């Protein structure tokens, strides 16, 4: 009888202990363990992060770090960290937190506009993904990559199309660059390539001319007319004489791409640069900015006309006055010069 009581007592203690252990395990796995009051918190896990860094990133977001760490070890997450951007929801338990950090890497929208150099592009992209500007710049300037894709120092910017793209935050510099190459090839469809051929231009030359068109006018509806004008000049063997190329030449020569130049002076037209289209015939060696798709398509589908000259229209700001003859252009230009002098714009 005494032995039976002892056995029953041991069994009872075991059941209580097992119950307490099961309760503790249940709490560790399924009890909410977030300490923040907002609906969610975004966490970025770097590519080289170890569990200690993950723990530091979560320290202010969790109620019980010890239970989270124990489960992370048991589930193998602590030794297999996944980099990326993650959204932790209010009220998540440890199991949900670990599953999220292991398999729910969120994409980010990466956007860039009309950068004038790959240096500017690298800086812009570095604010949106993990890769830093130096690694991005190295990838963009990689001689092997450029050579394999018929790109060079002057025209490498033509590969990048301003737009918004979806990436994972932990995308490497090389993967970003390679994705941009794919987007570039996807953009240059057979239809666009045929249109470029009709203009007797290669795709990179189309982008170079489009960059001038883009700089000349912000009005999308005017771009086909401006593109038609420059194509007319090219076909006649005339100098393009595009002020934006002179401004670019000044910036490139000085190394100061932050300067603002509102007026091109006669002295500026003498700058010795292949980008100075007042001195050098044909297109510049490469784009002077990343043109919008609207400017590229304007070059591919230009307005058909006989215009050879244009000047800013001071009666309809943002647009231009176009002329077929130099005499007509000079009359239009006189009006513009009077206006710009009245504004006392000297540079």
- pLDDT given for residue 275 in this prediction: 97
- pLDDT given for residue 7 in this prediction: 45
The 10s digit of each residue's pLDDT in 130-162 is 999 999 999 999 999 999 999 999 999 999 999
∠ CA 219-224-227 to the nearest 5 degrees?
105
Strand partners, 85: 44
- pLDDT given for residue 20 in this prediction: 46
Q: How far from 39 is each of 43, 56, 87, 250, CA to CA, in Å? A: 13, 21, 10, 51
Query: Whole-angstrom Cα distance, residue 70 to residue 316?
Result: 70
Query: Whole-angstrom Cα distance, residue 57 to residue 35?
Result: 13
The 10s digit of each residue's pLDDT in 5-40 is 554 554 555 555 555 445 455 556 879 999 999 999
Answer yes or no: are the C-beta atoms of 62 and 33 closer than 8 Å: yes
Weakly modelled stretches of the chain, pLDDT under 70: 1-28, 344-347
Structure-token pair, residue 317: 């700001």
């Amino acid at each position: 009888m005494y032995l039976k009581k002892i056995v029953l007592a041991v069994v009872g203690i075991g059941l209580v202990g097992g119950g307490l252990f099961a309760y503790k395990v249940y709490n560790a796995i399924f009890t909410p363990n977030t300490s923040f009051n907002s609906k969610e918190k975004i966490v970025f896990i770097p590519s080289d992060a170890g569990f200690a860094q993950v723990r530091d990133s979560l320290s202010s977001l969790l109620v019980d770090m010890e239970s989270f760490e124990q489960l992370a070890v048991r589930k193998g997450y602590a030794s297999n960290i996944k980099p990326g951007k993650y959204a932790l929801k209010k009220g998540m338990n440890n199991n949900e937190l670990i599953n999220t950090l292991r398999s729910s890497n969120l994409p980010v929208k990466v956007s860039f506009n009309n950068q004038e150099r790959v240096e500017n592009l690298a800086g812009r992209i570095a604010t949106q993904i993990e890769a830093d500007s130096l690694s991005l710049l190295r990838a963009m300037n990689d001689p092997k990559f450029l050579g394999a894709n018929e790109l060079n120092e002057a025209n490498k910017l033509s590969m990048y199309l301003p737009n918004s793209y979806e990436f994972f935050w932990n995308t490497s510099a090389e993967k970003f660059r390679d994705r941009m190459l794919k987007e570039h090839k996807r953009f240059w469809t057979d239809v666009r390539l045929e249109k470029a051929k009709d203009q007797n231009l290669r795709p990179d030359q189309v982008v170079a001319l489009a960059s001038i068109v883009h700089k000349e006018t912000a009005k999308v509806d005017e771009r086909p007319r401006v593109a038609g004008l420059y194509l007319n000049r090219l076909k006649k063997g005339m100098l393009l004489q595009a002020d934006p190329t002179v401004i670019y030449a000044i910036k490139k020569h000085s190394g100061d791409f932050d300067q603002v130049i509102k007026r091109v002076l006669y002295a500026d037209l003498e700058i010795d640069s292949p980008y100075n289209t007042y001195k050098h015939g044909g297109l510049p060696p490469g784009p002077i900015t990343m043109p919008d798709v609207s400017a590229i398509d304007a070059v591919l589908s230009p307005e058909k006309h006989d215009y050879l000259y244009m000047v800013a229209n001071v009666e309809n700001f943002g647009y231009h006055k176009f002329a077929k003859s130099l005499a007509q252009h000079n009359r239009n230009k006189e009006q513009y010069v009077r206006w710009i002098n009245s504004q006392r714009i000297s540079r």
